[in-house]
Chain A
Amino acid sequence: MLVTLKSRMNPLSSTDEQLRILSARNGFPAFEEKLHGTGLAPLRATRITNFQVNVGKLCNQTCAHCHVDAGPDRREIMSRETAELCIRALEQTDIPTVDITGGAPELAPCFRYLVEESKKLGRHVMDRCNLTVLLVASQADLAEFLARHQVEIIASLPYFRAAQTDAQRGEGVFDKSIRALRLLNDLGYGRENSGLKLNLIYNPVGAFLPPKQEAIEQQFRRELAQKHGVAFNHLYTMTNMPISRFLEFLLNTNNYEGYMERLVNAFNTTAAAGVMCRTMISVGWNGTLYDCDFNQMLELPTGDGTPRHIRDFDAKQLHERVIVTNNHCYGCTAGAGSSCGGATI
């Protein structure tokens, strides 16, 4: 099993080091410069429709592409007090969606509290699930909990074959993922008219861009149905971001320059206009506010003059804030675009 950058005391566990590498650029224009030619600069939020909460870096897996550097050794977990501040902030707004991520968010003690309280407020709740967590002994009732609260599950499955999935997520993860998907299907997830949404996330298993979302969704649907009897609603593609463990992979395999060149050359203005940070606010495990989970992992909080902590949450100030950008943002603007909800065009 891969170990976290932090436990290895790898220099890349420092966000300063990651930002130094990303800023070095090696001949491509800075993201801010690229935006200036599009009429989108400075990039601003439009209206927050997604309240994304990262409840911590604890995870039962250590995926090779992880931008969080999540793993079983991480102890950064959201406290109950901070989770309560999240609910207090939500109460003051009409933000329709609460999107809970991590690590493996279900392992955080405050996870079920956030689900229950968000549902009481009438919000749509999403769980970013790694699937194998559903099979962890302490989480034996998790699938049923999620179904009971009609939580939308966004599950990571990088490919419909074991070789590729296990290469990215660890040995045996594909087989466990299929078992977890069957468990979810048995509860009604992914079945037509059940109201229980099960969507998959595809991440490329390497230094290349995702395929067209519709095309890869068709492949997944056919393969998972025919070979494993598994059904799902939709598949979303996400580009790997040059952050944390994926950045380590790029550097160790001499793919960094080529990958950044690919991202920069595939810059798409339409994708840039639809980036997820414009309609999202990201809350860190300690309550710090960010424009998105990627900025969170690079420790780039919300911009000057905007609330920086959940206790100071002010939707009016945040709805049209200026977004903090850096060169990792090329990941979300390449090709068909990338976001937590898949391609943006």
Chain B
Amino acid sequence: METYYHPPDLGKFAEMGKGNAALWEKFMSYYSAVFAEGALSEREKALIALGVAHAVQCPYCIDAYTQACLEKGSNVEEMTEAVHVACAIRGGASLVHGVQMRNVAAKLSM
């Protein structure tokens, strides 16, 4: 069956550097700095990344950060909560726009 996504493609991420090595180096340098231990621990950052991966629905990130969370000492219970955080924010973002709906409805209605 043909599909757009192939799991082995995650391992080829670095090939993006072949199109422009300088930009790739800048991106990877920033990326590494973002995920380094800071005010937030590496584990906390991995959980945030996992939540964001579900919000943007990137299968590569979901694959990579599921493994990363486990390798930072997290567990399925924590990771499930992170997914629910993504769900709550995405759902909430739709819901809060309902205020706009209510504003328009109020203007138009008698």
Determine the chain B residues whose CB is within 8 A of the CB of A210 once the complex forms.
Answer: 71
Whether B42 and A215, one on each chain, are in contact in the complex, defined by CB atoms closer than 8 angstroms, is yes
Seen from chain B, the residues whose Cβ lies within 8 Å of a Cβ on chain A are 11, 41-43, 67, 70-73, 75, 77
Whether A208 and B42, one on each chain, are in contact in the complex, defined by CB atoms closer than 8 angstroms, is no
Determine the chain B residues whose CB is within 8 A of the CB of A208 once the complex forms.
Answer: 67, 70-71
Is A206 in the interface zone, CB < 8 Å from B? yes
What are the 7 tightest A-B residue pairs by CB atom distance, in nearest-first order? A211-B73, A216-B73, A208-B70, A211-B72, A208-B71, A209-B71, A219-B73
Determine the chain A residues whose CB is within 8 A of the CB of B72 once the complex forms.
Answer: 211-212, 215
Q: Chain B interface secondary structure, helix, strand, loop or mixed?
A: helix
Size category, A interface? 10 to 19
Closest Cβ–Cβ distance, residue A43 to chain B (whole Å): 26
Additional A-B contact list (12), CB under 8 Å, known A161-B75, A215-B73, A219-B43: A163-B75, A163-B77, A164-B75, A204-B70, A204-B71, A208-B67, A208-B71, A211-B71, A211-B73, A212-B42, A212-B72, A261-B11
Whether A159 and B42, one on each chain, are in contact in the complex, defined by CB atoms closer than 8 angstroms, is no
Q: In whole angstroms, how far apart are the Cα atoms of A211 and B71 in the complex? A: 5
Q: In whole angstroms, how far apart are the Cα atoms of A204 and B77 in the complex? A: 16
Closest residue of chain A to B74 (Cβ to Cβ) is: A211
Q: In whole angstroms, how far apart are the Cα atoms of A204 and B71 in the complex? A: 8
Q: Considering the complex, which residues of chain A in the window 128-178 have a beta carbon less than 8 Å from any beta carbon of chain B?
A: 159, 161, 163-164
Q: Chain A interface secondary structure, helix, strand, loop or mixed?
A: loop
Q: In whole angstroms, how far apart are the Cα atoms of A159 and B42 in the complex? A: 18
Please encode chain A, from 254 to 280, with 1 for each CB lying within 8 Å of some chain B CB and 0 for all others: 000000010000000000000000000
Q: In whole angstroms, how far apart are the Cα atoms of A19 and B73 in the complex? A: 31
Q: In whole angstroms, how far apart are the Cα atoms of A216 and B75 in the complex? A: 12
Closest Cβ–Cβ distance, residue B64 to chain A (whole Å): 12
Determine the chain A residues whose CB is within 8 A of the CB of B42 once the complex forms.
Answer: 212, 215
14 contacts between A and B (CB under 8 A): A159-B75, A161-B77, A163-B77, A164-B75, A206-B70, A208-B67, A208-B70, A211-B72, A211-B73, A212-B72, A215-B41, A215-B72, A215-B73, A216-B73
Whether A215 and B43, one on each chain, are in contact in the complex, defined by CB atoms closer than 8 angstroms, is yes
Q: In whole angstroms, how far apart are the Cα atoms of A210 and B71 in the complex? A: 5
Closest Cβ–Cβ distance, residue A200 to chain B (whole Å): 13
Closest residue of chain B to A237 (Cβ to Cβ) is: B73
Determine the chain B residues whose CB is within 8 A of the CB of A161 once the complex forms.
Answer: 75, 77
Q: Considering the complex, which residues of chain A in the window 168-227 have a beta carbon less than 8 Å from any beta carbon of chain B?
A: 204, 206, 208-212, 215-216, 219
Q: In whole angstroms, how far apart are the Cα atoms of A211 and B72 in the complex? A: 4
Closest Cβ–Cβ distance, residue B26 to chain A (whole Å): 23
Q: In whole angstroms, how far apart are the Cα atoms of A209 and B69 in the complex? A: 11
Closest residue of chain A to B43 (Cβ to Cβ) is: A215
Q: In whole angstroms, how far apart are the Cα atoms of A161 and B74 in the complex? A: 11
Q: In whole angstroms, how far apart are the Cα atoms of A212 and B42 in the complex? A: 9
Closest Cβ–Cβ distance, residue A313 to chain B (whole Å): 40
Interface centre among B11, B42, B72, B77 (most CB of A within 10 A): B72
Q: In whole angstroms, how far apart are the Cα atoms of A87 and B41 in the complex? A: 47
Determine the chain B residues whose CB is within 8 A of the CB of A211 once the complex forms.
Answer: 43, 71-73
Closest Cβ–Cβ distance, residue A146 to chain B (whole Å): 29
Q: In whole angstroms, how far apart are the Cα atoms of A209 and B72 in the complex? A: 9
Q: In whole angstroms, how far apart are the Cα atoms of A216 and B71 in the complex? A: 10
Interface centre among A161, A215, A216 (most CB of B within 10 A): A215
Determine the chain B residues whose CB is within 8 A of the CB of A219 once the complex forms.
Answer: 43, 73
Determine the chain A residues whose CB is within 8 A of the CB of B67 once the complex forms.
Answer: 208
Q: In whole angstroms, how far apart are the Cα atoms of A204 and B67 in the complex? A: 12
